[in-house]
Amino acid sequence: MQKTEKQSRASSIIEHRGIYYQAFNIYSGVSGFYNYGPIGLKIKRNIENIWRDIFVEQLGSLEIDTTTITPEIVLMASGHVATFTDPIAKCKKCGTSYRVDKMLEEFYETSNDKEALIELKKLNKEGMQKKIIENGLKCQKCGGELSNIEDFHLMFKFQIGQEKENVGYLRPETAQGIFVDFKDLSKIFGIKLPSAIAQIGKAYRNEISPRNQLVRVREFTQMETEIFFDPQAEQTTFNGVEIEPMLKLEVNFGPSDGEERLYSLKELLEKKYIPNRLFAMCIYLEFKMLEKLGISDKSLYVFRQINKEELPHYSKGNVDLEIRTIHGNLEVSGIAYRTDFDLSQHAKTSGKEISVMSNGKKLVPHVVEASIGLDRLLFSILDNSVQEGKERGWEWLKLTEQLAPYKYAVFPLQKDADLEKKAAEVLELLKGKGISAYMSSTGSIGKRYARSDEIGVPYAITCDYDTLNNNTVTIRSRDTTEQIRKDISNIV
Residues that bind ligand GAP (CB under 6 A): 173, 175, 205, 207, 216-217, 220, 222, 224, 331-334, 369, 371, 373, 375-376
173 vs 230 by CB, closer to ligand GAP: 173
Question: Nearer Cβ to ligand GAP, position 286 or 375?
Answer: 375
Q: How far is the CB of 406 from ligand GAP (least distance, A)?
A: 27
Closer of 273 and 337 to ligand GAP (Cβ): 337
205 or 288: CB nearest ligand GAP: 205
Provide, rounded to whole angstroms, the least separation between the CB of residue 323 and ligand GAP: 10
* Nearer to ligand GAP among residue 372 and residue 386 (C-beta): 372
Least distance (Å) from ligand GAP to the CB of residue 314? 9
- Tell me how far, at minimum, the Cβ of 203 lies from ligand GAP, in Å: 7
Q: Residue of minimal CB distance from ligand GAP?
A: 373
To ligand GAP, the closest distance from the beta carbon of 362 in angstroms equals: 26
34/273 with CB nearer ligand GAP: 34
The smaller minimum CB distance to ligand GAP, of residues 104 and 332, is found at: 332
**Nearest distance from residue 220's CB to ligand GAP, in Å?**
4
As measured in angstroms, the least distance from the Cβ of 149 to ligand GAP is: 20
Crossing angle of helices 38-51 and 374-385, in 10° steps, is 110
175 vs 302, beta carbon nearer ligand GAP: 175
Residue 217 CB, nearest approach to ligand GAP (Å): 4
Q: Which is nearer to ligand GAP, 46 or 212 (CB)?
A: 212
Minimal distance, residue 293 CB to ligand GAP, in Å: 14
